[in-house]
Structure 1
């Protein structure tokens, strides 16, 4: 089925002020434009703080309500939304609320990366090539310190991947469950081999990866583990298998709502 000219695709990110992170968004947007060539592809951020800081640098990115208003002015009547989020937490709530406020715009919304057990399996398969043999590996997630219910999917994913790979543990920058407690185990496991590896399950390598995980301050994850050799994988947004999983979520939403596009 060929998509009509009044159909658009909104890629919704939390947002980042890091230049390297913005380049990841550029790469993702190019991949999505190539995959869905007959859809108008646009970008929006959910973080108003990030939007404001970028505006001060002369970089204009709309939030989702602003993007919806602009698309309506352009004559768009059908909208597919792909939230580039890891879990269905607070930011996902912002997205669904914005869409609910525009009932005259026919829209479908894909689910975030970790939504059900099939997603957990797909993400484990995507991360498997990044897990070095015999080296303790910490998967870093964002987490939520204010609303613990939004950490549920992270805990479920953690239980599955840690059971499958004994040298793997999942930690979060925010919240206490799991929080950074797994770093003590990583430190113990790193002593015999003198190495630790980090895998950020975050879309871009922004402040959390550069400073909280790989920074030189004494409270960084790298410093807390204290291994002689510390390595770190690239951000999840550059993992082609993870991008493919997001696309599967979008294809499911498109098939359900619009009968599919190509």
Structure 2
């Protein structure tokens, strides 16, 4: 039986961020060596930009149709998405709508799919940024209108229960907001703030909304609040612990 693994990401147009996606893809491919690995991106805008650069990436329906034509019978669709939000629901629906074309089709889990996943990611971040007197670490998550946005306040609670209230979580498009993070920082005795993305990749949001020089970037606004601000431009996909968590999900779901 011909088997395939489709690694599905939202996608990015930032070359360094693309490397972070590829690092996760490599870990997933190594966890399922018997399967042909295929890449797909769900963002139509990103696919159009990449196609214009001569770097075409198929959508999930296009990748599934290509595999069907090639006679693949068993497909596992593994998202690299962060949580079970709007994009995950969309790709799951697209995958399942094509299930009749295969003998077997399954859809895997995103990075944060259980309490254990949240605790593992929080522990990794806490190790990555040890507590320092006078410094807070502010993490930028994407955020969502989907109920899955609850993972962000949940991770914040995990940090606090672990004795790391110096790590604060905010989101670009969800809750907690930057304004709520700023309000909390005012009650803390810190002079320095370190920014880092709580995202798979350090793409446009990290480069511009978080650490950019524009008037509305988190860096600019926090500097206006009087903090000395530094930033790490590194997505979670670059970390071996995160790659291993994705691979463990895949191994469990394949068995």
Both proteins in one fold, TM over 0.5: yes
The answer as to 2:199 corresponding to 1:202 is yes
Query: How far, CA to CA, are the matches of 2:106 and 2:97 in structure 1?
Result: 14
Deviation of 1:233 after TM superposition, in Å, equals 5.4
Q: Please say which of residues 28-37 and 44-53 is displaced more in the overlay.
A: 28-37
Specify whether residues 171 and 25 from structure 1 end up closer, same or farther in structure 2 by C-alpha distance, changes over 3 A only: same
The answer as to 2:37 corresponding to 1:38 is no
The answer as to 2:68 corresponding to 1:72 is yes
1:60-87 Cα distance to aligned partner (Å, 9 max, x none): 1011010000011111111112111111
Specify whether residues 34 and 247 from structure 1 end up closer, same or farther in structure 2 by C-alpha distance, changes over 3 A only: closer
Contact 2:28 2:250 in 1 (8 A): no
In structure 1, the gaps of 5 or more residues are 256-262
Q: Tell me the residue number matched to 2:165.
A: 166
Query: How far, CA to CA, are the matches of 2:113 and 2:14 in structure 1?
Result: 27
Query: How far, CA to CA, are the matches of 1:30 and 1:152 in structure 2?
Result: 29
How many residues end up aligned between the 2 structures? 247
Secondary structure, aligned partner of 1:181: helix
Query: How far, CA to CA, are the matches of 1:183 and 1:225 in structure 2?
Result: 10
Query: How far, CA to CA, are the matches of 2:27 and 2:243 in structure 1?
Result: 9
Q: Tell me the residue number matched to 1:115.
A: 113
Secondary structure, aligned partner of 1:54: helix
Secondary structure, aligned partner of 1:37: coil
Query: How far, CA to CA, are the matches of 1:73 and 1:54 in structure 2?
Result: 24
Deviation of 1:241 after TM superposition, in Å, equals 0.7
In structure 2, the gaps of 5 or more residues are none
Secondary structure, aligned partner of 1:211: helix
1:84-142 Cα distance to aligned partner (Å, 9 max, x none): 11110111111211122122321222211112211111111221222232220112110
Specify whether residues 213 and 189 from structure 1 end up closer, same or farther in structure 2 by C-alpha distance, changes over 3 A only: farther
1:210-258 Cα distance to aligned partner (Å, 9 max, x none): 0100011121111121122413252111011111111111112101xxx
Contact 1:138 1:186 in 2 (8 A): no
Query: How far, CA to CA, are the matches of 1:133 and 1:103 in structure 2?
Result: 48
Q: Tell me the residue number matched to 1:128.
A: 126
The answer as to 2:237 corresponding to 1:240 is no
Specify whether residues 163 and 182 from structure 1 end up closer, same or farther in structure 2 by C-alpha distance, changes over 3 A only: farther
Deviation of 1:183 after TM superposition, in Å, equals 3.4
1:12-40 Cα distance to aligned partner (Å, 9 max, x none): 10011111112222333333333332210
After superposition, the CA RMSD in angstroms is: 1.9
Query: How far, CA to CA, are the matches of 1:102 and 1:246 in structure 2?
Result: 24
Which aligned pairs between 1:90-109 and structure 2 lie closer than 5 A? 90-104=86-100, 105=102, 106-109=104-107
